[in-house]
Amino acid sequence: MSTKSPLIIVPGEPNSIFFEIFIKSLKKIKIYNPIILIASEELVKKEIKRFNYKKKIKLIDKKKINQYKLKNNCINLINVEERILDKNQNYKKLTNKYIYSCFQIAFEIIKKYNFKSFLNGPINKKSFLDKKFLGITEFISEHFKIKKKAMLIYNKKLSVCPLTTHLPLKLVIKKINRRDILEKVKLIDNFYKNKIKKKPKIAILGVNPHCESIDKFNEDEKIIKPSINYLKKRNYLVSGPISADTAFLSQNRSKYDVIIGMYHDQVLTPIKTLFEYDAINITLGLPFYRVTPDHGPNKKMVGKNLSDPLSLIQAIKFLDKN
């Protein structure tokens, strides 16, 4: 096998923009590490033909990966046998089994060969995860028996991390606790020190407007602030609780490397407004780097050849050369 660690890729939802932006990415950037794509051969050939891509496909056996000299001048493909196209080359409705098979093969070879770089395309959370998991972050973490995890939306200038992920707002307050705040800060601090080679400055947002509450119990004062004081005493560079309505103003956000919010849209809305597709989703806490482009399947754009590959390009660049 090549001495360079391969980049393991699962495309995710087959009826999505992934292959469009994947092929656009391969055309735009030089990739140093070999790619192992885990997908249906018939689907890959269909998409390569659609977007007029010339790179060769090399079929490999998942049981014999260590016997190959993997190269970066082709797509090394592990074929997943599930039939996902009908006789008219249209997508079948039931593709969850196929998606699950792709992930399972990826998990299997990551464990067996101790691979360190994993990228997955977007999936339809509602249909694939079926309420058992809030998102792919939780799905992958449970498979590897990881309890301490964090979802980091990463950009070199500013990153964000939601304390709670894909959770309905009415349930958020019940999930805000000291343990999770400490856990996220420690994971972020370790990631920045080990990967980015710097100690991060972290802002922690309050949950209530202006960090105030008309209720007797104020989460900002009773949970968030004591957690921050505890972390400060242990030399973490944390600030807060900070009011969410002004945290992302230019003079405020420039002070920090990461902003932790209490719920998903509190931090993902501003980060996507600031950087659009120039950000990637990283799962912290795993024994390898797991990254995904920061967008969904976007089925409305499938086949139009208008999707921006920037987030996937940044995801590949982040993992390449690991």
Residue 248 has pLDDT above 60, yes or no: yes
Residue 176 has pLDDT above 90, yes or no: yes
How is residue 189 written in tokens?
Answer: 């601090």
Q: Which pLDDT band holds residue 229 (cuts at 50, 70, 90)?
A: very high
Residue intervals in the chain for CATH 3.40.718.10: 1-146+286-322, 151-279
Would you state the torsion angle of the CA atoms of residues 96, 102, 106, 107, taken in this order, to the nearest 10 degrees? 30
Q: How many residues does the chain have?
A: 322
Could you read off the pLDDT of 144-166 as tens digits, one per residue? 999 999 999 999 999 999 999 98
* DSSP notation for 114-150: T--EEEE----HHHHTTTS-SSHHHHHHHHTT--S-E
Beta-sheet strands, E only, within the chain? 7-10, 35-39, 56-59, 74-79, 117-120, 150-154, 159-162, 202-205, 238-242, 258-261, 280-284, 289-293
pLDDT of residue 219: 92
For the chain, what is the mean pLDDT? 89
Residue 91 has pLDDT above 80, yes or no: no
Query: Which range is least confidently modeled, 35-39, 83-87, 90-94, 237-241?
Result: 90-94
Residue 304 has pLDDT above 80, yes or no: no
pLDDT of residue 317: 93
pLDDT of residue 16: 85
Query: Which range is least confidently modeled, 122-131, 144-153, 246-255?
Result: 122-131
Asked if residue 84 lies in contact with residue 131, where contact means CB atoms within 8 angstroms, the answer is: no
Homologous superfamily (CATH) for 1-146+286-322: Isopropylmalate Dehydrogenase (3.40.718.10)
Span between the terminal Cα atoms of the chain, in Å: 16
CA dist., res. 55 & res. 283, Å (int)? 30
pLDDT of residue 1: 52
Q: Give the list of residues 6+ apart from residue 90 with CB closer than 8 angstroms, or none.
A: none
Longest dimension (CA), the chain: 65
CATH code: domain 151-279 is 3.40.718.10
Q: Which of 197, 166, 193 is nearest to 281 (CA)?
A: 166
Query: What percent of the chain lies above the pLDDT cut of 90?
Result: 59
Residue 2 has pLDDT above 60, yes or no: no
pLDDT of residue 69: 83
